Amino acid sequence: MTMPNRRATMLGLAALPLAAAIRPVLAATPDVLVTSAGDVAIYPIRHASLVLSFGAETLYIDPANGPALYEGLPPPTGILITHGHGDHFDIATLNAIAGDTAPILTSEEVLARLPGPLKPRATALPNGATGEIAGLPIEVVAAYNTTENRKRYHPEGVGNGYVIGFGDKRVYVAGDTEDTPEMRALTGIDVAFLPMNLPYTMSLEQVAAAVAAFRPGIVYPYHYQGGDPAKLAELVGDAAEVRLAAWY
């Protein structure tokens, strides 16, 4: 007899058996996070790119890899960019999908590199700041490497992660980072998108240790090309529900 997944029930999602704690998510079929203010549709796009749609608002996060991946989705009412690496900041894709009015929230590094037509509607927030986009509250979380021989990839103070509020739920998109003290100190995270590829971000063990520290309800491993997200689920155990999405 299978037992219901208590964490999924607590998050307002359909209860899942423990045997289904790891499950594929079709790119064209969103997962749904139920909040006090309506549902969030979660669309994994590719690698480090995702779309979160909430009522009339749709956030594109690190849009990259060409506009064809976004066909059939609502246009963005807000765009979040974590940092300036090409798999997160893709000017050609951005120009194609940004429309005429969607505000952009990003880092100082990216703001300086935005093309002229997009720059006037962009805002840069530093690590630790708070703000909003499309009427949704945002907290900026530092994203950087902590291991000495990896610090050149993502120096401290440059990249952003974001915690986004949707009603009574909080979604954390980590960007490119290791398991920093700022990540470990997070509280009340319902869904976390965590990267895991070496040498640029975290090892499986680092992700599992971070999850044990800040206890998100649901974890989506992303930015893991060539990695083994199923192995992560074994390491995480009962600390969180691990969901495998169609990133590749």
DSSP-assigned states of every residue in 52-112: EEETTEEEEES--S-GGGGTTSPPPSEEE---SSTTT--HHHHHHH-TTT--EEE-HHHHH
Average confidence (pLDDT) over 10-18 = 35
Q: Look at the domain 6-245 and name its fold.
A: Metallo-beta-lactamase; Chain A (3.60.15)
Burial profile 126-154: b = 16 or more Cβ within 10 angstroms, e = fewer: ebeeeeebbebebbbbbbbbeeeebeebb
For position 30, what pLDDT does the model report?
94
Mean pLDDT (the chain, rounded): 90
CA separation for the pair 78, 68 (Å, rounded): 19
For 103-147, write each residue's pLDDT tens digit.
Answer: 999 999 999 999 999 999 999 999 999 999 999 999 999 999 999
pLDDT band (50, 70, 90) for residue 28? low
Hey, where are the domains in the chain? 6-245
Q: Is the pTM of this model over 0.95?
A: no
For position 6, what pLDDT does the model report?
28
For 47-97, write each residue's pLDDT tens digit.
Answer: 999 999 999 999 999 999 999 999 999 999 999 999 999 999 999 999 999
- Asked if the model's pLDDT at residue 3 lies above 60, the reply is no
Average confidence (pLDDT) over 220-232 = 94
Say which range, 1-5, 32-36, 70-74, 86-90, has the weakest mean pLDDT: 1-5
- Asked if the model's pLDDT at residue 1 lies above 90, the reply is no
